[in-house]
Amino acid sequence: MNIGGDLMEINRPLVMGILNVTPDSFYEGSRCGTDARILVKRIEKMINDGVDIIDVGGYSSRPGAADVPVEEELERLETGIKTIKAISHDIVISIDTFRADVARKCVLEWGAHIINDISGGNLDSMMFQTVAELHVPYVLMHMRGTPGNMASLCDYGDDGVMAGVMVELGRRADMLRSMGVCDIIIDPGFGFSKNLEQNFKMLGSMEEFHSLGLPLLVGMSRKSMICKTLGIQPEDALNGTTVLNTMALMHGAHILRVHDVREAVEAVKLVGATTGEWQWTK
């Protein structure tokens, strides 16, 4: 991947740590807000735990979350990015936003490296053009509709969820390629416009996504597919997250997006030691 003019090789699975500069993300333990003390503590912990990428989000995508004005999202993201850079200039920074203007400002003015878009370009018609102009890696996530109505858009017909998601991701990836975007990362969108059964079907069939020929990001950290299955709350879902992340690694995930960096790094090390496919280097 082209990261600010330097090439970043994915020669082992990477760990992307979640930095929610929000007051209302679904997992209370990840809510940092813009309190400098809390942000610094969380960022330093992620770095010490071995994070590769920090994904900064200023707009909660949980169902029922309040709309956030552009100005407020930008203020939150500016605080997050600048706090990371004040601590380390070596950390790759991803911006979790579906707004093209927000993404542009974060990249050009504050030095973000990757755009992570939960809508796959469907919520802002200028996003793909913006990514093409900025020449930055783009996380293309699969979601239908919006966070507010996605739960009602889980019907994938007779072909099933795998075929539906792969076709829809493939079409969007082809659009990006036709616009000159080279660094595309796909995210199947666990928990977004998929029901419980469909989420586990995707996890068990993850190798099929490799036919798209693109790096695969998996984000299942403390999500409802764990909590509903085990009858627990997000605060108790770390063990379940590690189990599913380990399965994702065994199925060929290239990037794990997580709240808990140390546990994900340990999973990468242990799976690598078991399969012999990579070694942890940092």
Question: Which comes out higher in pLDDT, residue 267 or 29?
Answer: 267
Q: At what angle do helices 261-275 and 238-250 cross, to 10 degrees?
A: 30
Over residues 252-267, the pLDDT tens digits come to 999 999 999 999 999 9
3-class state of residue 100 by DSSP: helix
Identity of the amino acid at 155:
D
Does pLDDT of 64 surpass 80?
Answer: no
Cβ 46 vs Cβ 257: under 8 Å: no
Does pLDDT of 273 surpass 60?
Answer: yes
Lowest mean pLDDT among 56-60, 128-132, 273-277: 56-60
Q: Name, in order, each residue with C-beta under 8 angstroms of 35's C-beta and a sequence gap of 6 or more.
A: none
Measured between alpha carbons, how far apart are the two ends of the chain, in Å?
A: 17
Confidence at residue 48, expressed as pLDDT on a 0 to 100 scale:
97
How confident is the model over 148-166, as a mean pLDDT? Answer: 94
Cβ 86 vs Cβ 44: under 8 Å: no
Across all residues in the chain, what is the average pLDDT?
93
Cβ 52 vs Cβ 14: under 8 Å: yes
How confident is the model over 6-27, as a mean pLDDT? Answer: 85
Over residues 6-16, the pLDDT tens digits come to 999 899 999 99
pTM beyond cutoff 0.75: yes
DSSP string, 135-177: T--EEEE---S-TTTGGG----TTTHHHHHHHHHHHHHHHHHH
Does pLDDT of 199 surpass 50?
Answer: yes
Confidence at residue 28, expressed as pLDDT on a 0 to 100 scale:
55
Confidence at residue 24, expressed as pLDDT on a 0 to 100 scale:
56
The structure tokens 């998996």 sit at 218
Does pLDDT of 30 surpass 60?
Answer: no
Could you give the CA distance from residue 177 to residue 276 in angstroms, rounded to a whole number? 33
Over residues 32-51, the pLDDT tens digits come to 656 788 899 999 999 999 99
Confidence at residue 193, expressed as pLDDT on a 0 to 100 scale:
94
DSSP string, 185-237: EEE--TTSS--HHHHHHHHHTGGGGGGG-S-BEE--TT-HHHHHHHT--GGG-
6-7 and 2-3 as β-strands: parallel, antiparallel, unpaired? antiparallel
pLDDT band at 143 (very low <50, low <70, confident <90, very high): very high
Confidence at residue 27, expressed as pLDDT on a 0 to 100 scale:
47
Catalytic annotation, residues: 223, 257
Question: Which comes out higher in pLDDT, residue 276 or 31?
Answer: 276
Does pLDDT of 58 surpass 60?
Answer: yes
Q: Which CATH number does 13-58+70-275 carry?
A: 3.20.20.20
Which of 21, 25, 15, 13 lies closest to 39 in space, CA to CA? Answer: 21
Could you give the CA distance from residue 174 to residue 217 in angstroms, rounded to a whole number? 18
Does pLDDT of 269 surpass 70?
Answer: yes
